[in-house]
Amino acid sequence: MTIATFNPQLRLLNALRANAKPIMTFLGLPSFRTAQIVAQTGLDGIIIDCEHGHISDDSMHSATAAIASLGVSPLVRLRMTHSDLIKRALDAGAHGIVVPQINTAAEAQTVVSYSKFPPQGLRGQGSAFPAFTHSIDLPTYIKTANETLITCIQIETKQGVENVEEICAVPGVDMIFIGPNDLALSLLGYVPARGDEPEFVEAIDKIVAAARKHGKWVARLSNNGALCREHLKVFDTVALSYDIRALQNWYTGELQVARS
């Protein structure tokens, strides 16, 4: 991300480059309207969750277009590192991808190779849709995609932490995302972490240090606004909870008031 190709449509990328501490969230519901509603809240990016969310290929396409049309950056979290999943997300017009459970540098290199057009990678070209969500013509998209798409990988296992230096050194990886729940399960055997367990704290510190050393942006999940504010003192961006949790929490809280 050293080449300064600028596109005003790429809200998340531009905020990261400006060190403006952007805030994202996760979208797990397969609804074009939910995507629109969440995109109108002031967020900078929305991660369409094809790993844990109820998101089909059709829903991913619709959400990507809806989010981008409102000036917010859609990212897609994939199920795994398969080339066809990466291709589908980027061909739908995602401004970036988030790939879970990366444990080795070789896995990170695989993700990068499928995310980049030749000569930097192996990505094929055949879709007109990405140019729409980037608000540019297709030749310009093809020319600039390798510089402007965010390739984000998740480190959320003990093995990933052990290999974090090598993973962060991989060229073409732009961002490291810490999945605190899976990281806690892997390191501690339970979830959620209290947050003060030495092994858990040391792992997060190690990931952040490696990302900084190798010039990668670093992100994490935050469960509420107060935690977002604290985490943004350390991290370049955070994901503020999840659309499903937001619905649950609002109804739970309001019902408690109504029945009190």
Distance CA 145, CA 133 (A): 12
Distance CA 29, CA 236 (A): 26
Q: Identity (one letter) of the amino acid at 255?
A: L
Q: How many CB atoms lie within 10 A of CB 219?
A: 25
The answer to whether residue 3 is domain-embedded is no
Task: At 4, give phi and psi (nearest 5°).
Answer: -90, 50
The answer to whether residue 180 is domain-embedded is yes
52: Cα within 13 Å, side-chain hemisphere:
13
Residue 197 is part of a domain; what is its CATH number?
3.20.20.60
Q: Is the pTM of this model over 0.85?
A: yes
DSSP, collapsed to helix, strand or coil, labels residue 27 as strand
The answer to whether residue 98 is domain-embedded is yes
The answer to whether residue 75 is domain-embedded is yes
The answer to whether residue 76 is domain-embedded is yes
What residues make up the domain containing 111?
11-259
CB burial string 130-159: b at 16+ within 10 A, e below: bbbbbebeeeebeebbbebbbbbbbbbbee
Provide the number of structural domains found in the chain.
Answer: 1
The answer to whether residue 1 is domain-embedded is no
Q: What's the pLDDT at 3?
A: 54
The residues carrying an active-site annotation are 52
- Average pLDDT for consecutive 10-residue bins of the chain (260 residues)? 78 98 98 96 98 97 98 97 96 98 98 97 95 96 97 97 98 96 96 94 98 98 96 98 96 97
Q: What's the pLDDT at 137?
A: 96
The answer to whether residue 2 is domain-embedded is no
Q: What's the pLDDT at 5?
A: 85
Q: What's the pLDDT at 178?
A: 97
The answer to whether residue 236 is domain-embedded is yes
